[in-house]
Amino acid sequence: MKTILMLGLSLSLLAPLSAQAGAKEDFQKIYSEAKSTHDEAGNFKWTTTASRLSAARSAADDGKYEKAKELAKQALQLAKESVAQRKNQAKVWQNAAIGG
Amino acid sequence: MRKRLIYVGLATLALSAMSASVVAASQADIDRGKELAFSRKDGNCLACHKMDDGKLTGTIGPELANMKTRYPDRNVLFKRVWDETQFNPQTVMPPFGRHSILSKEEINRIIDYLYTL
Amino acid sequence: MPRAAKTILVIIGAVLVIPSVLAGVNPEADRKAAVEYFKQMFPKVPLKEFVNGQYALDADRRAQWQSLQDFPPYEFAVAEGKEMFETPFANGKTYASCFENGGIGIRQNYPYFDEDKKEVITLELAINQCREANGEKPLKYKKGDIASISAYMASTSDGKPFNIRIPDDPAALAAYQNGKKFYYSRRGQLNFSCASCHVKNPGKWIRADLLSPALGQPSNFPVHRSKWGELGTLHRRFAGCNKNVRAKPLPAQSTEYRDLEYFLTYMSNGLPVVGPSTRP
């Protein structure tokens, strides 16, 4: 019982350190994908994507990579939705137009 | 193998749907839902819907009342808040879930609240 | 070769020259359909009244608005605009040298399509081009001096009907269509197009704001909004609407916004210039 507790305790102490090391690379990868997806949205970019991207950037500048990674993930999700919107609207916008 | 996975998936779906409808919403859930529904940066439902004691409500959408009668199936109401364009392509209601305006959890709280109307 | 066959070949040739996206683009048919659409939606509103936006649709709002018209808040800006318009540049020339009829009573012809440059020229763009041609620095596009000068120029066209022309040039038609596409495309996280509010829901309330119809929409610009506490240009308003739906606004006088203005103003052909005006 004691050993398990000790093991658990040391693992939980180690985890944040290794996570932090991987988080920086994870962040960079996700952030650059989010940024290029955001650019792909062209003139359909969302302000919310832009603000998540800059929040992610400034968290990373402060060395908070876990937080930065999380924000970059959110930015990527929003950017993907904006690209989907752009593609979808190219097909359906005329359905709503007076005169077609 | 694949079949089994599908069964597991279906069972999980059924369970999650059940947990949503069977577990009664607490007063805290309902209060949180109202807060999200009224807040301008979250649901901002009042922009278009007359509801409850909301002031300066818009007239674009229908009044939100008798929700239990109108939506006996909670999943249907959830889907309409998630993405109304799936039901009505010309709607102006934002696809709250699909566009990540609200999280799944937030939509569920709003629905807890809507069922009190 | 029989004559009929020749004619058919010529027609096919002509069709091939026009890019396929422009097939069926008919601005005048669009405009007539829009007039019909809004007439049916608001049968009691006289056509020319649409330039007053929400005030054409709600008697209470109109009464409040009219009571403000004795001392309009843009009066000083228009006077300043007139002074700037008449003050010579460093080289001795004035704005009048750049415009038809010395820039007086011409607002209703803007924006127009420049067939040499193959682009839409708005009044504000023309003002800055005039400055640059005379060695002056361009003004910022959303507010301030440019809004005052544009407001003065609009005031000299008060009541003149909009007369936007789309020359027989595929590039002009493409600019119109691009603007129309912008107007009807849903944007932003909230998934609204311009039309979501101003075609589908004019006359309805979004919170405490009454939505105006697309028809007549650009006619009252530049506009003094109480929200701004000053005059602003049409492109400032475009940017504000985009931001409201959480879409990243485009730069004022970008090609997209100029094409949008071209489409939107064309829809208002025949309606009077009433800018500058006031809005909440």
From chain B, the residues in CB contact with C205 under 8 A are: 57-60
Structural domain total, chain C? 2
Does some domain include residue C186? yes
Cβ atoms C124, C217 nearer than 8 A:
no
* Residue C131 sits in the same domain as residue C210: no
**Rounded distance between C-alpha atoms, residue B77 and residue B71, angstroms:** 6
Q: Does the distance separating the beta carbons of C206 and B60 come in below 8 Å?
A: yes
* Residue C253 sits in the same domain as residue C183: yes
* Residue C51 sits in the same domain as residue C172: yes
Does some domain include residue A4? no
Q: Tell me whether residue C194 is one of the annotated catalytic residues.
A: no
Annotate C8-33 with b (16+ C-beta within 10 A) or e (fewer): eeeeeeeeeeeeeeeeebebeebbeb
Does some domain include residue C12? no
Does some domain include residue A18? no
* Residue C55 sits in the same domain as residue C129: no
Structural domain total, chain A? 1
- Kindly give, in sequence order, each residue whose CB lies less than 8 Å from that of residue C120, ignoring residues fewer than 6 positions away: C111, C112, C113, C114, C175, C255, C258, C259, C261, C262
Q: What is the count of residue pairs from B and C with beta carbons less than 8 Å apart?
A: 36
Does some domain include residue B17? no
Q: Does the distance separating the beta carbons of C207 and B99 come in below 8 Å?
A: no
Mean pLDDT by 10 residues, chain C (280 residues): 54 52 89 97 97 94 88 95 98 98 98 98 98 98 98 98 97 98 98 98 96 97 97 98 98 98 98 96
Cβ atoms A31, A72 nearer than 8 A:
yes
* Residue C237 sits in the same domain as residue C145: no
Q: In which domain, by residue range, is C264 found?
A: 26-70+167-279
Q: In which domain, by residue range, is A79 found?
A: 23-92
Among C121, C155, C189, residue at a domain's last position? C155
Average pLDDT over residues B26-51: 97
Does some domain include residue A97? no
Cis bond upstream, residue C276 (ω within 30): yes
The pLDDT confidence band at residue B10, using thresholds 50, 70 and 90, is very low
* H or E stretch at C277: strand C277-279
Does some domain include residue C240? yes
Average pLDDT over residues B43-59: 97
pLDDT 10s digits, B14-32 = 444 444 445 689 999 999 9
Among C155, C188, C207, residue at a domain's last position? C155
- Kindly give, in sequence order, each residue whose CB lies less than 8 Å from that of residue A11, ignoring residues fewer than 6 positions away: none
CATH of the domain at C41: 1.10.760.10
Q: Does the distance separating the beta carbons of B98 and A96 come in below 8 Å?
A: no
Cβ atoms C107, C79 nearer than 8 A:
no
CA-wise closest residue to B92 among B62, B115, B56:
B62
Does some domain include residue B51? yes
Q: Write phi, then psi, for C272 (nearest 5 degrees).
A: -80, 150
Does some domain include residue B110? yes
Residue C191: both structure tokens together: 């998934």
pLDDT 10s digits, C154-203 = 999 999 999 999 999 999 999 999 999 999 999 999 999 999 999 999 99
Residue C210: both structure tokens together: 């009454």
* Residue C118 sits in the same domain as residue C224: no
Structural domain total, chain B? 1
Tabulate helix, strand, coil % of chain C (nearest 5). Answer: 50, 10, 40
- Kindly give, in sequence order, each residue whose CB lies less than 8 Å from that of residue C242, ignoring residues fewer than 6 positions away: C187, C188, C248, C249, C250
Residue B59: both structure tokens together: 């007239």
Among C155, C175, C200, residue at a domain's last position? C155
* Residue C208 sits in the same domain as residue C236: yes
Q: Does the distance separating the beta carbons of A85 and C191 come in below 8 Å?
A: yes
Nearest CA in chain A to B90: A96
Does some domain include residue A69? yes
In the prediction, which pLDDT does C13 show?
Answer: 47
Helices (H) and strands (E) in chain C, counts: 10, 7
Sign of CA dihedral C214, C215, C218, C221: negative
* H or E stretch at C6: helix C3-17
* H or E stretch at C225: strand C223-225
Does some domain include residue A58? yes
User: Degrees (nearest 5) of the Cα angle C212, C214, C215?
Assistant: 105
**Rounded distance between C-alpha atoms, residue C85 and residue C103, angstroms:** 9
Average pLDDT over residues B87-96: 97
Does some domain include residue B66? yes
Q: Which of residues 191-220 of C touch B (CB under 8 A)?
A: 191-192, 196-197, 200-201, 204-208
* Residue C92 sits in the same domain as residue C202: no
Which residues of chain A have a pLDDT value below 70? 1-21
Cβ atoms B13, B101 nearer than 8 A:
no
Does some domain include residue C4? no
Please, what is the average pLDDT of chain C? Answer: 93
Cβ atoms C267, C34 nearer than 8 A:
yes
* Residue C196 sits in the same domain as residue C254: yes
Does some domain include residue C137? yes
Please, what is the average pLDDT of chain A? Answer: 88
In the prediction, which pLDDT does B14 show?
Answer: 44
Does some domain include residue B96? yes
* Residue C255 sits in the same domain as residue C274: yes
CATH of the domain at B48: 1.10.760.10
Q: In which domain, by residue range, is B34 found?
A: 26-114
Does some domain include residue A39? yes
**Rounded distance between C-alpha atoms, residue B111 and residue A90, angstroms:** 33
Residue C77: both structure tokens together: 């800006």
Query: How long a stretch of residues is chain C?
Result: 280
From chain B, the residues in CB contact with A81 under 8 A are: 98-100
Residue B87: both structure tokens together: 């039901």
Tell me which residue in B56, B95, B99 faces C208 most closely, judged by beta carbons. Answer: B56
**Rounded distance between C-alpha atoms, residue B1 and residue B4, angstroms:** 5
Give bridge partners of residue C197 from the DSSP assignment: none
Q: How far is A21 from chain B (nearest CA, A)?
A: 29
